[in-house]
Amino acid sequence: MDLGLHGQVAVVVGGANGIGKAIAHSFAAEGARVAVVDRSPDVAIVAAELGPNSLPVVVDVTDYPAMQAAAARIEAELGPVAHVVVTVGIDSGKGGFPFWNLEPSDWTRVYTVNVQGVVNTAHAFYAPMIERRHGTFLFFSSVAGLIGSQTDPPYSASKAAIINFTQVAAKDFAPYNIRANAIAPGMVHTPLQRKVYTLATANLPENERPTYEEWCETKIKRLAPLGRMVDPEEIGSYAVYLASQHARNVTGQVLNVDGGWVMHW
Ligand SMILES: NC(=O)c1ccc[n+]([C@@H]2O[C@H](COP(=O)([O-])OP(=O)(O)OC[C@H]3O[C@@H](n4cnc5c(N)ncnc54)[C@H](O)[C@@H]3O)[C@@H](O)[C@H]2O)c1
């Protein structure tokens, strides 16, 4: 299937690792010109993998003036931006359960990165896109944002907020032929998932601690009917599809890529 993304400029904020890195590769495989944006200097490694039609940009998503400068630089050096993906997301680094095990102050950083980061990115990129009446945004929620997961309350609530903002943005952008959607992954093999494993198993005695692979296998079989983990590359396929004209009537939606973990009716 030709997705028609050849030569278009895609920006992946959070592109240095995990899901963002896989999405950057998927856009590049479709012939898109890709800006790999992240606070990690590893953007240079990813951009080198993608080839000459890519641009590494080191920036912290919480720094709005720096995000504005990054957007201007990408437009100038790579061309008119058509697709913006934000995969940036952090956890609180603390287990929840009950929520009062965390301090109210544990919420601030998670919200600033996960929610304000998405809002900063949307503000930094939207203006030339609505002038051109063309483009898409893709944000990242989580199954945690759909079911009130107790594992990490600020993370869970921030992921719900992203769904709400996606709907707001989809309505605001629609008259300008711009779409906004979200993906809610289940359990994906990424550095973030490794952190969740470390946190979840930290208090177990060493001789009872499962390996990362054992922990994933047990958890996913318990929670998802299909019983299998998601690979980042699978998410890349959905990201490019949602950016393409094949999805031209899809906006304000949350696509669960979770093996059937969360089902709505
Ligand atoms: N991995 C999973 O199983 C899973 C499940 C559900 C939802 N998600 C969501 O998918 C998204 C991607 O997750 P992932 O597993 O690839 O995460 P990851 O930790 O592997 O990658 C996140 C990237 O964001 C970057 N980042 C963090 N803070 C930043 C900041 N302030 N400014 C700029 N960049 C910053 C990191 O450097 C990293 O490259 C996240 O929003 C996450 O909440 C992941």
pLDDT of residue 260: 97
Q: Is 158 in the pocket of ligand 1 (CB under 6 A)?
A: no
Which of 111, 126, 155, 176 is catalytic? The answer is 155
- Are the C-beta atoms of residues 119 and 164 closer than 8 Å to each other? no
Probe target for ligand 1 pocket from 23, 38, 118, with the most ligand atoms within 8 Å of CB: 38
Probe target for ligand 1 pocket from 87, 113, 194, with the most ligand atoms within 8 Å of CB: 87
Q: What is the pLDDT of residues 193-252, one digit of tens each?
A: 998 899 889 889 999 999 999 999 999 999 999 999 999 999 999 999 999 999 999 999
Sorted by sequence, the CB contacts under 8 Å of residue 197 that are 6+ apart come out as: 212, 215, 216
pLDDT of residue 265: 64
Q: What is the pLDDT of residues 48-102, one digit of tens each?
A: 999 999 999 999 999 999 999 999 999 999 999 999 999 999 999 988 789 999 9
Nearest CA owner, ligand 1 atom 28: 88
The fold of the 9-190+230-257 domain, in CATH, is Rossmann fold (3.40.50)
pLDDT of residue 96: 77
Q: Is 190 in the pocket of ligand 1 (CB under 6 A)?
A: yes
Q: What is the pLDDT of residues 143-160, one digit of tens each?
A: 999 999 998 999 999 999
pTM summary value: 0.97
pLDDT of residue 97: 84
Sorted by sequence, the CB contacts under 8 Å of residue 186 that are 6+ apart come out as: 143, 220, 223, 224, 229, 230, 256, 257, 258, 259, 261, 262
Q: Is 60 in the pocket of ligand 1 (CB under 6 A)?
A: yes
Q: Where are the domains of the chain?
A: 9-190+230-257
pLDDT of residue 1: 87
Nearest atom in ligand 1 to 195's CA: 19
Write the Ramachandran bin of 108: left for phi over 0, alpha for psi from -120 to 50, otherwise beta.
alpha
CA of 16 to the centre of ligand 1 (A): 9
Q: Is 19 in the pocket of ligand 1 (CB under 6 A)?
A: yes
- Number of neighbouring beta carbons within 10 Å of residue 48: 12
Q: Who wins on pLDDT, 227 or 1?
A: 227
Q: Is 14 in the pocket of ligand 1 (CB under 6 A)?
A: yes
The dihedral through the CA atoms of 262, 226, 26, 241 has a sign that is: negative
